[in-house]
Amino acid sequence: MNSMTTLGRNLLGLIGAGLLLGACTDPIAQQSRPCPAVKVVQDAAYLTRFAGEAEDLAETSFEARVARSQSMCTYVTNTETGNTAIRSELSIEFAASRGPKNPDSAAKFNYWVRVVGPGNSQLSSQILDVEIPFTSAKVQGTIQDQVNVVTPLKQGETGDFYRIYIGLAVNEKELDYNRRNPQF
């Protein structure tokens, strides 16, 4: 009889849990939708900044790279309009090392975050600043930056329709250097 009572309580608990889960509709369903894929562009994931025109490692001001990125997203519905958007929270870590010709005791550079939609159409782009300080005792450093990206959705769309790209803002010469000297 004791085992029947335990079985009855477990069964009742499962039925109660099922009823509670059935009562929750929108918030749980929205949170299970896919986030936009976040990708670091390989040609723009690394930067060697030279102090002068020569591409000689003895003339390096600093080297920087996107060390890692993480993202989390939430679907948000405007209660007045009924429009839905995805709010992506990005955490991006950068690493840098000082070169022999670094005049600023820091690595100062920019990076970009772009949202691309269906058909590879660019929907938004942000350019952000990074500064990683150096000292005589600390010639390498890391910094973490937080970025929020809001992507409005059209009817029937999910995060699968969108991509978020991250890259260092390299000029043509730096991009060419990266392609001739791949780091990954």
Q: How many domains does the chain have?
A: 2
pLDDT at 183: 80
* Statement to judge: residues 4 and 72 lie in one domain: no
Strand bridging mode 106-116 / 163-168: antiparallel
pLDDT at 22: 33
Contact 164, 38 (CB under 8 A): yes
* Statement to judge: residues 37 and 115 lie in one domain: yes
pLDDT-flagged residues of the chain (< 50) = 1-31
pLDDT at 9: 35
* Statement to judge: residues 79 and 170 lie in one domain: yes
pLDDT at 174: 93
Distance CA 105, CA 108 (A): 9
Which helix (H) or strand (E) segment holds residue 124: the answer is strand 122-133
> Which residue range is the domain that position 163 belongs to?
33-180
Block residue for tokens 């918030």: 27
pLDDT at 71: 96
Q: What is the pLDDT of residues 25-70, one digit of tens each?
A: 344 444 478 999 999 999 999 999 999 888 888 999 999 999 999 9
* Statement to judge: residues 8 and 37 lie in one domain: no
* Statement to judge: residues 117 and 157 lie in one domain: yes
* Statement to judge: residues 85 and 130 lie in one domain: yes
Return the CATH number at 171: 2.60.40
* Statement to judge: residues 87 and 116 lie in one domain: yes
Bridge partner residues of 165 (DSSP): 39, 114
Distance CA 89, CA 146 (A): 7
pLDDT at 136: 85
pLDDT at 184: 65
Strand bridging mode 37-40 / 46-50: unpaired
* Statement to judge: residues 86 and 104 lie in one domain: yes
pTM of the model: 0.79
152 — phi, psi (to 5°)?
A: -70, 140
